[in-house]
Amino acid sequence: MKKLIAALTAVAALALLAAPAAARAGEKFLGKVVKIEMAGPEAKVATATLQDEAGKTVAITVQDKLTLDKFADKRITIGDDIKCKYEVKDGKNVATFFKKPGGC
Amino acid sequence: MRTNLLLAASLLFASSAGAAEHEGKAYIAEHGYDGPRTCETCHEGTARKFLDTVHWKHASKVSNVEGVDPRQEWGMKNRIYTFCNGNDLVNNLKEIPANEKGKTKLIGCNSCHPGNHLSDVGSTGPEAEQAIDCLVCHSSKYDYSKRRPYKTANGQVAMGQDRSAEAAMAVGKPAVKNCMTCHEGAGGGPLVKRGFAFDAEHDAHAAKGMVCVDCHKAKDHRVPTGFDPNTWANDGVRLSCADCHPGKPHKDQAYDAHLGRIACQTCHVPGAGGAVAKDFTRWTKLETGFYEPSTIVRAPSEAMPVYAWFNGTVVNQPHFIGPKGSRTDPRSKIFPFKIYEGKAYYDRKSGQLLAMDFAPPTATGNTLAGVASAARTMGLKDVQPVPGWQTIYFANSHLVTRQKALTCDKCHVPSGGRLDFQALGYSKAEIEKRRLMSASLWFDRLLEKELKKDE
């Protein structure tokens, strides 16, 4: 019985160790765009680097067409504040939300 | 004379080059682009006419809203309601005070106005005509990074424009992005106010490759719009689904039988989106050190519309802006609306809603300072702000779907249906007699359809 409890505890501990990847599923970031890497206006993916107040940077992978269009015609450009949510997939921070925080 | 000859030659060349290409492209390539002055070479008188449209004036005379003077012009220029709680007058584009981090920025309701802000909302005359940003709506190669507010050498706040020849040579019918650049950003961020995305995923018209101006087809820059309890200003030209889908558009007669009293949108726009509630008395601090109105937003189609009779006229009260209409009014139909509730300050003495200048609360979160500043702008004295709520009905006319349109079982059910028949004026006895809340009304018909679908 003790062995079973120990085994279950070990499994639980491993699950907790593995948790950060899952917990990062809903990361949020508010920062300025400091760099946009996009291979031409028709590209299917782009990487935007955001920097927050503290100087922390995060590279965000953007795949949705509307945001890519906004990069292409500079509706979103260097210096813009961005509210972003992303999920970590295969080591990349993939945006699920990438928008300017204010409208007017 | 030489200019005209060159222009004629350019047009000849352009017309032989292809119908889709703007006929003045070669002219612009040779002469460069000098704003409306260049456009007027061919489109003479257009700039002057544009100054008399809602896009420029942000207002018009309004004849369908109770309690407003029909001789005055109303619109985002001067209205006070709890979605924006400000307007172009009190929230004129300006530099806000520094926040606790010493940062400032240039913001204002009229940042989407298609001028340069030096010629602003409703301005007239030659200077205003030359300030029009034709390309922001008409160019497919507009560089939006140039359309930013900035301070001029003498400290005025101006709005930048892309007047490059490259942008000017790519003019044409406005694309979706030309419209949505402003129309999706209103009210505090992308898809906050109207809450609809006009793309293939969310709208049947967009999925067919249509663009905004295929329905909102302007003449002399007067853009047709539908009736909406919360959009008052209009160019005097109206638009409805029946303009393109007249008569009996369904294959099923039972659906066509609804058309007398049910608006197309009721079945074909089953979802709503955008902000459902805001609190202007309590602003939320952002990591940037700025504040913004506390807002609860839903994604497109995530919110459920409410249904009410609407005859195109509007109830306008301090705590309610919504549709007028009833079952007994033959002009009324049942429409879907996005319900929005906003909390803001009212004047204790007059009971009227007060506007807010966003500059102070954006910097410090001090909402009462914003009310005081707006009151000064509007010449109001001794206001006594007290919080209160206002309910607003927004027309829900986009996010159109054919595949996900409401079917019989979404409304005519014993409970949980979309329509509250009693609230809409149907008696219990009539509901019973007509089987309005029973599958017995529609089962056979719907079963037949479902079976066909499975074949």
Q: Which residues contact A65 (CB under 8 A, 6 or more apart)?
A: B199
Q: Quick count: other Cβ atoms within 10 Å of Cβ B208?
A: 9
Sequence-distant (≥ 6) Cβ neighbours of residue B401 within 8 angstroms: B203, B204, B268, B269, B270
Determine whether the interchain pair B186/A52 forms a contact, defined as Cβ–Cβ distance below 8 Å: no
Is A102's pLDDT higher than 60? yes
Unique residue bearing structure tokens 């009212």: B346
- B147 vs chain A: nearest CA distance in angstroms? 9
Cβ contact, residue pair B185, A52, below 8 Å: no
CB nearest to B185's CB, from A52, A65, A104: A104
| Domain-located, residue A52 | yes
CB-based contact A99 B107, cutoff 8 Å:
no
Whole-angstrom distance between the N-terminal and C-terminal Cα of chain A?
A: 64
B169 is written with which tokens?
A: 């040579």
Q: Please judge whether A52 and B287 are an interchain contact, meaning their C-beta atoms are less than 8 angstroms apart.
A: yes
Kindly determine whether residue A103 and residue B189, on different chains, have CB atoms separated by under 8 Å. Answer: yes
**Is A61 contained in some domain?**
yes
Q: Which of A53, A69, A104 should we substitute to test contact with B (largest number of B Cβ atoms within 10 Å)?
A: A104
Contacts of A52 in chain B (CB under 8 A): 287
Give residues with Cβ within 8 angstroms of A46, minimum separation 6: A36, A37, A38, A39, A61, A62, A67, A68, A71
Q: Are B128 and A60 in contact (CB under 8 A)?
A: no
Nearest partner of B164 among B135, B126, B130, B137, judged by Cα: B135
Q: Is A35 on the interface with B (CB under 8 A)?
A: no
Contacts of A69 in chain B (CB under 8 A): 177
Q: Which of A89, A102, A26, A94 is nearest to A64 (CA)?
A: A94
Give the rounded percent of residues in chain A with a pLDDT score beyond 90.
Answer: 59
pLDDT score, position A19: 45
Nearest to B160 by CA among B170, B149, B174: B149
| Calpha distance B21→B15 (Å, rounded) | 8
Q: In 3D, which of B15, B35, B14, B17 has the Cα closest to residue B26?
A: B14
Question: Using a CB-CB distance cutoff of 8 angstroms, which residues of chain B are in contact with residue A73?
Answer: 141-144, 177
- pLDDT tens digits, residue range A51-95? 998 899 999 999 998 899 999 999 999 999 999 999 999 999 999
For residue A69, the domain's CATH number is 2.40.50.140
Give pLDDT tens digits along chain B (455 positions).
Answer: 444 444 444 444 443 333 478 999 999 999 999 999 999 999 999 999 999 999 999 999 999 999 999 999 999 999 999 999 999 999 999 999 999 999 999 999 999 999 999 999 999 999 999 999 999 999 999 999 999 999 999 999 999 999 999 999 999 999 999 999 999 888 888 888 988 999 999 999 999 999 999 999 999 999 999 999 999 999 999 999 999 999 999 999 999 999 999 999 999 999 999 999 999 999 999 888 899 999 999 999 899 999 999 999 999 999 999 999 999 999 999 999 999 999 999 999 999 999 999 999 999 999 999 999 999 999 999 999 999 999 999 999 999 999 999 999 999 999 999 999 999 999 999 999 999 999 999 999 999 988 988 77
Question: Are the beta carbons of A73 and B109 separated by less than 8 Å?
Answer: no
Distance, CA of B130 to CA of B128 (rounded, Å): 5
Number of cross-chain residue pairs from A and B with Cβ atoms under 8 Å apart:
59
Number of compact structural domains in chain A: 1
Q: Give A22 to chain B, closest Cα distance, Å.
A: 24
Within a domain: A50? yes
Question: Do A101 and B286 lie within an 8 Å CB cutoff?
Answer: yes
Q: How far is CA B270 from the centre of its chain?
A: 19
Q: Is residue A20 part of a domain?
A: no
Write down the residue that tokens 């609804």 correspond to: B258
Provide the pLDDT for residue A10: 55
- A104, B292: Cβ pair inside 8 Å? no
Residue B81 CA to residue B90 CA, distance in Å, equals: 13
- A83/A97 Cα distance (integer angstroms): 8
Q: Which two tokens stand for residue B352?
A: 């009227």
- Tokens standing for B286? 């952002």
Contacts of B280 in chain A (CB under 8 A): none
Determine the residue of chain B that is closest to A102 in CA distance: B189
Identify all chain B residues contacting A81, using CB atoms and an 8 Å cutoff: 288
Across the interface, do B177 and A75 touch by the CB < 8 Å criterion? yes
Distance from CA of A20 to the nearest CA of B (A): 24
For the residues of B297-327, what is the DSSP string, one character each?
A: EEEEEEEPPEEEEE-S-EEEETTEEEE---T
d(C-alpha A84, C-alpha B269), whole Å? 29
Q: Give the Å distances, CA to CA, from B51 to B47, B91, B129.
A: 7, 21, 7
Which pLDDT does position B11 carry in this prediction?
A: 40
In a domain? residue A6: no
Rounded Cα distance, A58 and A82, in Å: 12
Contact at CB, B286 and A77, closer than 8 angstroms: no
The first and second tokens of residue A61, run together, are 């992978």
The closest CB to that of B190, out of A77, A81, A100, belongs to A100
A79 Cα to chain B: minimum distance (Å):
10
Is residue A68 domain-resident?
Answer: yes
Q: Residue A79's closest chain B neighbor by CA?
A: B145
In a domain, A55, yes or no: yes
Q: Do the domain assignments include residue A88?
A: yes
Per DSSP, the three-state class of B125 is coil
pLDDT above 70: residue A17: no
């204790």: which residue's tokens? B348
Instruction: Tell me which amino acid residue B276 is.
Output: V
Query: Length of chain B, please?
Result: 455
pLDDT for res A104? 63
Give the other-Cβ count within 10 Å of B233's Cβ: 21
Predicted confidence band of residue A5 (pLDDT cuts 50, 70, 90): low
pLDDT at A16 over 60: no
The Cα B182–Cα B46 span in angstroms is 22
| A30 contacts on B by Cβ (under 8 Å) | 286-288
Q: Which of B107, B108, B143 sits opposite A74 (nearest CB)?
A: B143
Taking CA–CA distances from B111, the nearest residue in chain A reads A104
Query: By residue range, what is the domain housing residue A52?
Result: 27-99
Residue among B111, B181, B289 whose CB faces A75 most closely: B181
Amino acid in position B30? E
CA distance B260 to B244: 17
Nearest by CB to residue B144, choosing from A73, A99, A104, is A73
Contact by Cβ (8 Å): B159, B181: no
- Distances in Å between the alpha carbon of B413 and those of B86, B269, B408, B410, B434? 42, 19, 8, 7, 12
Please check whether residue B171 is in contact with residue B37, taking contact to mean a CB–CB distance below 8 angstroms: no
On whether the CB atoms of residues B238 and B227 are closer than 8 A, the answer is yes
CA distance B110 to B234: 17
Q: How far apart are CA B178 and CA B191, in angstroms?
A: 15
A73 vs B: CB within 8 A: yes
Contact B107 A102 (CB under 8 A): yes
- List the one residue out of B126, B132, B111 whose CA is nearest residue B56: B132
Under an 8 A CB cutoff, do A104 and B107 touch? yes
Q: What pLDDT does residue A18 have?
A: 47
Q: What is the C-alpha separation between B399 and B191, in angstroms, rounded?
A: 12
